[in-house]
Amino acid sequence: MDKVNVRYEEKQGREFVTTWECDDAMQVYNDLTHELIAKKLNGCTWIKSIKRVPLYNGFDRITVYYDHGGRQVYTVTSH
């Protein structure tokens, strides 16, 4: 991936299937900010974990796992 985006994936059997995607950078960073605040500052329980993986091309992949089995995968620039 070489652009900022977010996609929602729901678990179907053993695989994750993309059901929603957004390429609007403002929306991507806004959603990611709300989820980080919810988990780290407010201690919400509906977000199970947040993991960051550097992609070594100037981007990071941040995956937010939910308690119902779905996940949101963000591709954002690494600053």
Q: What is the pLDDT of residue 32?
A: 97
The pLDDT of residue 7 is 97
pLDDT for the residue 2: 73
The residue type found at 40 is K
Question: Where do the domains of the chain lie, and which CATH numbers do they carry?
Answer: 5-77 (3.10.50)
User: pLDDT (tens digit, 0 to 9) for every residue of the chain, 79 residues total?
Assistant: 579 999 999 999 999 999 999 999 999 999 999 999 999 999 999 999 999 999 999 999 999 999 999 999 999 998 7
The pLDDT assigned to 39 comes to 95
| Residues in Cβ contact with 71 at an 8 Å cutoff, skipping those fewer than 6 apart | 8, 9, 11, 16, 63, 64, 65
